[in-house]
Amino acid sequence: MKSIGVVTPQSMHFSEPLPLQSGASIADYTLVYETYGVLNADRSNAVLVCHALNASHHVAGVYENADGSLNHGWWDNMVGPGKPLDTDKFFVIGVNNLGSCFGSTGPMHPNPATGKPYGASFPVVTVEDWVHAQARLMTALGIEQLAAVMGGSLGGMQAMAWSTLYPDRLRHCLVIASTPKLTAQNIAFNDVARQAILTDPDYHGGNFYEHGVVPKRGLRVARMVGHITYLSDDDMAEKFGRELRSGAYQFNFGIDFEIESYLRYQGDKFSSYFDANTYLLITKALDYFDPALPFGGDLTKAMAHTQADFLLVSFTTDWRFAPERSREIVQALVNNKRRVSYAEINAPHGHDAFLLEDERYMDVIRSYYGKMWKEIEQTPLHKVAA
């Protein structure tokens, strides 16, 4: 299979303030994005891929690091020439969300009002805010209607929000390993992570940039607890079990079990590159997502004005966003007589399965885009241009 090869991010500045769900607004901002493939003449083959917690606009292809090592896009197995989302056919866009720490305007950037980094004063942004910002970028790129919006986990929430906020601007909505809202347990895990960061003395009320430190301890614990929820119990048992690092108990608080070594390594790595304020913001966006809230909790009503066709995918061992959560979305769409396909993939890897190779999963996505491509060839014109 061919690879996209080396890719280069682009950026676009927006000087019109973005009003936010909180009532605040962002005066001006920059979005960093990448594109793969070629936009066709009638601009009908564009697919927006939305990222989850710790990912970015770097969806596919590779960066060449200064040391010659390669940094692959987080969904490089999904997006590329001949891949399930085939860039020989589709024009794919990845956008880094506002508040993130990979280039788009975020807490580490200067607040134009003060000249100092936003820090904790960066406004709390929601999934819906992100979608409005993405929609502006699509307009700026000349894309009135997307062939599809697609995302996994938090990315799937953005795809859902597109379908309700801009019903006529997407033909298809692909929601993978996602949920219509977080459970109390999901929120609880997020709050543990936030408390670990907020109470790290190096957090300095969010202004740690000025102090030349990073709340690494908090970020590390946050990542460790998050990571547990991304894997299935069985998968952890299979990969690590009770395997001992040194073959025997150490009778101290160093490393006994391989799982400890793995999680601490993941935590250390994460805390070396991820921004603490971004972590807080993104977990809040997760907690707040609840499209049924303005409709008294009625998801069917919330989805009533969607126009897209839907593909939902869930994974049997995902206990973070369990298949039951996807089925709730499917039910709401069926209640509204939307065209909806649903695949529940029997996969051992828990929530993380949406990022991994799985033949059945990849086949489902490939086949869905194959049908979409035929449809685009037959009716290339926009169904509606706003």
Residues annotated in a binding site for substrate: 223, 352
What is the CB-side half-sphere exposure of residue 154 using CA atoms within 13 A?
Answer: 24
Contact 227, 267 (CB under 8 A): yes
Give 12 or 322: the residue with its C-beta nearer to a copy of itself. Answer: 322
Residue where the block lists tokens 């001949």: 82
Cβ neighbours of 13 (radius 10 Å): 10
Residue from the set 72, 109, 245, 284 that interacts with a copy of itself by CB under 8 A: 284
Minimum CB–partner distance for residue 186 and a copy of itself (Å) = 9
Give 128 or 309: the residue with its C-beta nearer to a copy of itself. Answer: 128
Contact 42, 143 (CB under 8 A): no
Give 61 or 123: the residue with its C-beta nearer to a copy of itself. Answer: 123
**Residues of this chain, 218-247, that bind a copy of itself according to CB under 8 A:** 220-221, 224-225, 228, 231, 233, 236-237, 239-242
**Residues of this chain, 123-162, that bind a copy of itself according to CB under 8 A:** 123-124
Q: Which residues pair with 46 in a beta bridge?
A: 91
**Catalytic residue at 318?**
yes
Instruction: Name the active-site residue from 44, 56, 153, 163.
Output: 153
Give 338 or 351: the residue with its C-beta nearer to a copy of itself. Answer: 351
Minimum CB–partner distance for residue 258 and a copy of itself (Å) = 8
Instruction: Name the active-site residue from 57, 178, 318, 349.
Output: 318
The binding track of 169-208 with respect to a copy of itself, each residue x by CB under 8 A or -, is ------------xxxxx-xxx-xx-xxx-xxxx-------
265 binds a copy of itself (CB under 8 A): no
Minimum CB–partner distance for residue 321 and a copy of itself (Å) = 12
Q: Residue 211, class by beta-carbon neighbours within 10 Å (0-12 exposed, 13-18 middle, 19+ buried)? A: exposed
In the chain the first and final C-alpha atoms are separated, in Å, by 38
263 binds a copy of itself (CB under 8 A): yes
Cα–Cα distance between 51 and 57 in angstroms, integer?
7
Cα–Cα distance between 3 and 152 in angstroms, integer?
22
3-state secondary structure of 326: helix
**Catalytic residue at 178?**
no
Give 34 or 128: the residue with its C-beta nearer to a copy of itself. Answer: 128
Q: Residue 334, class by beta-carbon neighbours within 10 Å (0-12 exposed, 13-18 middle, 19+ buried)? A: middle
Q: What's the CA dihedral at 79, 83, 88, 94 to 10 degrees? A: -10
Residue where the block lists tokens 């590779």: 62
214 binds a copy of itself (CB under 8 A): no
304 binds a copy of itself (CB under 8 A): no
Minimum CB–partner distance for residue 340 and a copy of itself (Å) = 25
**Catalytic residue at 261?**
no
51 binds a copy of itself (CB under 8 A): no
- Written as six digits, the tokens of 1 are 């299979």
Q: How far is CA 22 from CA 104, 124, 307, 373, in A?
A: 20, 7, 27, 38
Give 33 or 288: the residue with its C-beta nearer to a copy of itself. Answer: 288
Nearest CA among 282, 225, 272, 276 for reference residue 97: 282
- Enclosing H/E stretch for 149: strand 146-152
Contact set with a copy of itself (CB under 8 A): 21-24, 120, 123-124, 181-185, 187-189, 191-192, 194-196, 198-201, 217, 220-221, 224-225, 228, 231, 233, 236-237, 239-242, 249, 251-253, 256-257, 259-260, 263-264, 267, 280, 284, 287-288, 290
Active-site residue set: 153, 318, 351
